[in-house]
Amino acid sequence: MTESSLKHLAIIMDGNGRWAKERGLSRTKGHEQGAETIRHITTYCAEDDEIESVTFYAFSTENWKRPKLEVEFLMKLLDKYLKNELATYQKHGIKFQAIGNINEFSTTLQKRIKETEVQTKDNKSLTQVLALNYGGRAEITMAVNNLISQGKTSVTENEISLALQTPYKDIDLLIRTSGEERISNFLLWQLSYAELYFTPTSWPDFTAKELEDIIRQFKTRNRRFGDIK
């Protein structure tokens, strides 16, 4: 059996609020600790010779339903994270990219996102993708509408794939933390043949060691892609 190759990793970061509640802390403390975890996991992936891209589900199109103060905090945390992480991106050769509709964010945050993309565009060791105001159905709908606007009257799977926002199309492994076992409108097209792994660990407690263990298990899986081999 050939060892499974891991080039594109996707992570649904779940459990920040519950992690904080269990410790008698505010939900914002959970989000702050979760941001630290993103840094550690991204750095680990940048040092891995095989992983080319890691995509984090950072803010979904449904997350606007959360309390206004929490949403405002998340926007400020994202701005602070990108500002602080620029040095880490450059040190480890990490290219940053955002997917999703960032036009609904403040002008200041949009500027921070776009500037970070420009400043890191030539980095080669890893692409870190943050899905921001992102929904899988919305991404597919936008891709098809873009193709229609180009005059297409019918489209192929390959054309849709190329019209999507993600720089690396197919996901090899999806991890979701905190015990939930669903994909929550995340990368619906790209997950078609992904291996799925659900861990009870809350995102703030997720470590590079656990990721390493999950990857080791992933590599033992026989990915047939519809074949019988």
Catalytic residues: 14, 63
Distance CA 52, CA 75 (A): 27
**Helix and strand tally (H, E) in the chain?**
7, 6
* Bridge pairing between strands 94-99 and 126-134: parallel
- Give 113's DSSP letter: H
DSSP H helical ranges for the chain: 16-22, 27-47, 68-92, 107-120, 136-149, 157-163, 208-218
Contact of 19 with 205, CB cutoff 8 Å: yes
